Chains A and B, each alone.
Chain A
Amino acid sequence: MKKIFGRPAGLTEILQRYCPGCGHGIVHRIIGELLVKLDIRERTIGIAPVGCSVFADEYFNCDMIQPPHGRGPAVATGLKRTRPECIVFSYQGDGDLAAMGTAEIIHAAARNENITVIFINNAIFGMTGGQMAPTTLPGMKSTTSVKGRDIRKQGYPIRVCEMLASLDGPYYLERCVVDTPKNVIRSEKALKTAFMNQIDNKGFSLVEILSTCPTGWGQTPIQAKKWLGEAMVQYYPLGVYRDRSKEEK
């Protein structure tokens, strides 16, 4: 029998414990494939966040480190500066990157640190049971905004790509979504660029990926996919927010 579909060598054989319909698995697969396609698996050091993807240290088939909540970009800096020959990526959720680690990501971007950041924006704290995230949409329900996020009391969401694009530092910023096969392929392209930029010593690349959390959103996987493509994409416009390679030409 001919095998036509299997796990890329960039992922381990360990069973991933994500909920049905969770976006983390899709993005893991893209990264796992890229580690092989770009032939960087054996010189890559990955960083797993604190969040549902804390177990990414078991899922990616490369050297991995698991730092404190939000501090991935600082750890990445220490790794990359001492091992410039390695490819260093930091995988982070919205609580990790846009709440706890806001300072770390801003300063890594401002320094144009030569690292690759994958930012999974599912607008919720998945790991801790669906509390409000800095990216939770106005009016969106969570376990700490049960009647919907009240912008008068709980403020507005943070748009990370737009915020980082206000800095001169970052080399590449793009926002994608993983709701349809076409958009998954677009996400892969963005992530490939983000890794290639590091390989070519260009500097800081961040790809924000809008992603589902059916469990935290209280939706079925199908509903979640739909809501992702509509409500999330509407609030967080897709596109390239910075590409310095364009300026270089």
Chain B
Amino acid sequence: MAEKKLMYGNHAIVEGVLAAGCRFFAGYPITPQNEIPELMSIRMNEIGGVFVQTGSEVAAINMLFGAAAAGKRAMTSSSSPGISLMQEGISYIAGADIPVLVVNVVRGGPGLGNIAPAQSDYYQATRGGGHGDYFTITLAPNSAQDLYEFPRLAFELAEKYRNPALILADGLLGQMMEPVELSDELVDPNSLAENEWALSGCKGRERRIVRSYDLRPGKLEEWNLRRIEKYEKIKKNEQRFEATDCDDADLVIVAYGTCSRVSDAAVKMARDKGFKVGLLRPITLWPFPWDVFADMSKRIENFLVVEMSCGQMIDDVKLATECRSKIHFHGRPGGGVPTPPEVYKEIEKVLGGAQ
């Protein structure tokens, strides 16, 4: 029987990363994710993994580049300002087609902002983030259970497509406590297959080069076009979402992470009052679950996008619905967290007074 444990979201990430067979962590403290490096320093020591507290997030992401280029599962975690510093490295890693896992426990911004939960790094996460044409696979957990399970999924997707993967959490998910069902099947790092691109010394084989540059005329263009083919495959195969009560809905709320939990409560309030309201929760933010939106927009008249930002995911909802439906928005930037009554009020605004 799988063990159930009450855990902080940030601790669930650590156990999930270790359960996924990752034995390399490099990072730099920043609130609200300090519990990750703290527990990681203890746990890596216990199980013979590597923990490095770095001089900066720039160093952390580049240590990941090295560890992952050596063919090992490697992860780092940070919060918004630190993730900004990592963008150069993520671009190089994406350009070299190397799988790594980056966790962003998002806080209020821009700048130093505050340490309250936020979703204002959505653009950065889903548009590549650094320079050049690239995307990172981006997963949006909404529970401690997800925080435990998504690292493994993220590594599997990252390796399958040779692409960096991102888990986009927020300060609330990281700091809250919830029961987590732990997996019986822990990944043994030694059981992971050696990659045909990993650096390990060229004994008995051709030497290998990991790099993101190609100065030969036309070659970088070709390389980018091949990467686009990969992205098309990811878009086709990996769209994930959760749809609740959407079949008969006059209005569907679109929300991920913490906002999807808040919106879930608002949907229940609305249903109690007789409103036909559903919830569509994107689980992959990139690839965005475009297909389900394209399909739903043929029947659903209203979408209400709820975000802890000034409105970023709303762009993807508009694109995915091709503006066939009416798109409403409720956002709380700068560390604000919407409440269920607040979201319910927005529903009433769209659908009229009590039914």
Contacts and interface: CB of A to CB of B under 8 A. Distances in A.
Interface string A78-114: 1111110111000000000000000110110001000
A77 interface: yes
B55 A81 contact: no
- In the complex, which range does the number of interface residues on chain A fall in? 35 or more
Nearest to B89: A68
A80 B52 CA distance: 12
Nearest to B23: A82
A107 B52 CA distance: 11
Contacts of A45: 70, 199-201
Contacts of A150: none
B89 A66 contact: no
A48 B213 CA distance: 12
Interface centre among B69, B72, B92 (most CB of A within 10 A): B69
Contacts of A77: 26, 52, 59, 63, 66
B114 interface: no
Contacts of A78: 24, 26, 62-70, 74
A44 interface: yes
Contacts of B65: 65, 67, 71, 74-75, 78
Interface residues of B, number: 38
Interface string A168-189: 0000000000000000000000
B66 A74 contact: yes
A173 to B, nearest CB: 19
Interface in A41-82: 41-45, 48, 54, 57-58, 61-68, 71, 74-82
A106 B199 CA distance: 25
Nearest to A69: B88
Contact of A82 (B50, B58, B59, B213): B50
B201 A58 contact: no
A65 B55 contact: no
Interface stretch (B138-146, B202-210, B319-327, B336-344): B202-210
Given A81-B50, A104-B55, A107-B54, A66 B62 contact: no
Contacts of B200: 45, 63, 83, 86
A158 to B, nearest CB: 17
Given A41-B202, A78-B74, A79-B67, A57 B211 contact: yes
A170 to B, nearest CB: 15
B210 A65 contact: yes
Interface centre among A48, A58, A64 (most CB of B within 10 A): A64
A118 B346 CA distance: 62
Given A71-B59, A74-B62, A81 B24 contact: yes
Contacts of B66: 65, 67, 74-80, 82
A172 to B, nearest CB: 21
Nearest to B201: A43
B58 A74 contact: yes
A63 B74 CA distance: 20
A81 B68 CA distance: 11
Contacts of A111: 52
A54 B213 contact: yes
Contacts of A62: 201-202, 207
Contacts of A107: 54-55, 59
Nearest to A12: B207
Interface in A121-159: none
A65 B68 CA distance: 11
B91 to A, nearest CB: 8
Contacts of A75: 62-63, 65-66, 69
Contact of B213 (A61, A66, A85): A66
Nearest to A78: B66
A81 B212 contact: no
Given A45-B200, A63-B207, 13 more contacts: A41-B202, A42-B201, A42-B202, A64-B208, A65-B211, A66-B210, A71-B58, A74-B58, A75-B66, A77-B52, A78-B62, A81-B63, A86-B199
8 contacts: A42-B204, A67-B62, A71-B58, A79-B199, A83-B200, A107-B55, A107-B59, A111-B52
Interface of A: 41-45, 48, 54, 57-58, 61-68, 71, 74-83, 85-87, 103-104, 106-107, 111
The 7 closest A-B CB pairs, nearest first, are A78-B66, A74-B62, A43-B201, A78-B67, A66-B211, A107-B55, A42-B203
Interface of B: 23-24, 26, 50, 52, 54-56, 58-60, 62-70, 72, 74, 88-89, 92, 199-204, 207-213
